[in-house]
Amino acid sequence: MKLLQTNNIFFMKQNFFLLLGLMFIFSVNSFAQNVGANNSKMIIGKWKIDSLDVGDSPLAVQYKQIVEEKMAQIIETTEVLFYPNKKYLKKGFDGTTEGTWRISKDGQYVSVKIKGRDKEDRTKIISITDDKLIIAPDDPNAVNAKVYMYKAK
């Protein structure tokens, strides 16, 4: 009888820890999905560039010079719109770009699929609030290191 009780307690403890582990996994997954949903809500709207950080990107010398010369024009003319229906529109000195957008489940990336392109562009969300957005390319060879944006009225 004593042996049976010991085994039952052992199995109860084992099941308790298994249940506790599963609850932890589900809560972490739920938290990540909530971050993604929250970032999806916050990103909706019109964003303007506040500043660009070219950083130490491995740009060819001629491209870095062009970017630095055009910096003021890029900042002044660029606006990015994320619509609630997942449509994307970017207006800038280089024209207009349309497509669709989505936020990763963990909320760490915004991906944009431009019309007419096969590849989806993925950008890291460094920080997002209701009125500020800092993003960086997922590609280490990209021209800019960080883009600082503010939500336009």
Query: Splitting the chain (153 residues) into consecutive groups of 10 residues, what average pLDDT does each group show?
Result: 50 52 48 68 94 68 71 88 96 92 93 93 92 87 77 91
Q: Residue for token digits 């500020």?
A: 132
Those residues whose C-beta lies under 8 Å from the C-beta of residue 41, and which sit 6 or more positions away, are none
102: helix, strand or coil: strand
Tell me the C-alpha distance between 41 and 44, whole Å. 6
Q: What is the pLDDT of residue 27?
A: 47
Determine contact, residues 109/123, Cβ cutoff 8 Å: yes
Q: What is the pLDDT of residue 93?
A: 84
Tell me the C-alpha distance between 92 and 95, whole Å. 5
Q: What is the pLDDT of residue 30?
A: 44
Task: Please return the burial class of 101, using the count of CB atoms within 10 Å of its CB with bins 0-12, 13-18 and 19+.
Answer: buried
Q: What is the pLDDT of residue 153?
A: 83
Q: What is the pLDDT of residue 37?
A: 82
